[in-house]
Amino acid sequence: MLCLPVVVSLVCSSLVPAAVAADSAAQDTPYNSSTVNISDPQATAETQALFAALRDTSSKDIRFGHQQTTELSITGAKNGDVYEMTGKYPAVFGFDAGEIVRASNSEADPSAAIEKMVNDIKFADAQGGIITLSVHWNNPVTGKDFSDTTEAVSHILPGGSHSAVVNRMLDAVARVAQDAKRSDGTPIPIIFRPLHENLGTWFWWGATHASTAEFKELFRYIVNYLRDIKGIHNLLYAYSPSGTFNKDTTDYMASYPGDDWVDVFGLDDYTDNIPDWIPRVVRDLGVLEKVAEKHGKITAFTEFGRRDIPKSGKDYGHYDFYSKLREALAKDTSHIAYMMTWANWGDSSSNFQSYTPWHGSDGEAEFKEFCSKQFSSNGFSKEC
């Protein structure tokens, strides 16, 4: 998404013992580690267990996720809009390392931002949440934000004029992964989604700003640097282009970095036209999961959302959006691990976006119903 300021269920999570997310999710899906087609042969046991559990999830048990769910909100609620409405946290917590890498790019000390993010990740993990981490990298050549599409990729690859800049950025990401540990010292598994929506043109790493070969080389370099040079073994890596492919995955697979660098086949897609969008995106995900299954990988709806919720929160209709999407995915796909919508924030100015209802909005009652139905059907009292 452009803007920035589990147990198996598609529902939101109240207090759960730490470490229950990956371990409990894997209990019903025993696996031999030799069958886990994970990108990191040295991945921690917990990371392998999370991979296996996500890969084997039935779409009927798809998890719901929300970006920056405890960090940002419409109402200013301490624990976020989803929790304020439902009393439960999402099963998947999304974080973004943009602030951390921006500090690194400018050679400022990112320690304070890293410490805050690590504490937030520990909190989410303690609730039983699964962690995802995206990065809205600022342009490493100009220092401007992620939407500055000045050519950069060719300059940050090994031997390029700005390769040291991307290394500093990755060092900051590595510190997050290294410091995010449970009380017993176990590294917390994190799904890292480094260069998302690359088929769009709005980011400096996107289509028209780098060749397909350059994109794949950069993605592989990021994984190699974190996994092989920094020795980080608690990361799963997600590849998540944007938009529709109308049953044809040629473009999607053209920039696919390869099985040795990817664990999650993701898709980012948003809508202003819900009735037409749901069947189309479900069809796309059904096609995508078949490709992922051939590669032994996870399929996830890494970002989704409706962009038409007004600041007033009134009279915007299609309040059953989340339920309709869940039902369609359960009916017409097999193994979508999670669906994560984007962050909420807003004030009295034009700086507003919301991808879930919030307390007091017209969509609140239906969202609570969506949450409680899934919680009841799966028999879990801890997640939404």
CB atoms within 10 A of CB 73: 24
Which of 269, 367, 260, 282 is CA-nearest to residue 316?
A: 367
DSSP 70-96: TT--SS--TT-HHHHHHS-EESEEEEE
Q: CA 58, CA 9: separation in Å to the nearest integer?
A: 10
Q: Which long-range contacts (CB under 8 A, 24 or more apart) does 83-87 make?
A: 83/12, 84/358, 84/359, 85/356, 85/357, 85/358, 85/359, 85/364, 85/367, 85/368, 85/371, 86/12, 86/367, 86/368, 86/371, 86/372, 86/384, 87/14
Q: CA 79, CA 362: separation in Å to the nearest integer?
A: 20
Q: CA 32, CA 11: separation in Å to the nearest integer?
A: 28
Q: CA 312, CA 310: separation in Å to the nearest integer?
A: 5
Pairing of strands 345-346, 92-96: unpaired
Which of 336, 371, 341 is CA-nearest to residue 356?
A: 341
Q: CA 77, CA 64: separation in Å to the nearest integer?
A: 20
Q: What are the φ and ψ backbone dihedral angles of 179, each rounded to 5 degrees?
A: -85, -15
Under 8 Å between Cβ of 292 and 299: yes
352, β-bridge pairs = 346
Catalytic residue IDs: 197, 303
Residue with tokens 């890498």: 101
Distance from chain centroid for Cα 55: 15
Which of 98, 100, 195 is CA-nearest to residue 152?
A: 195
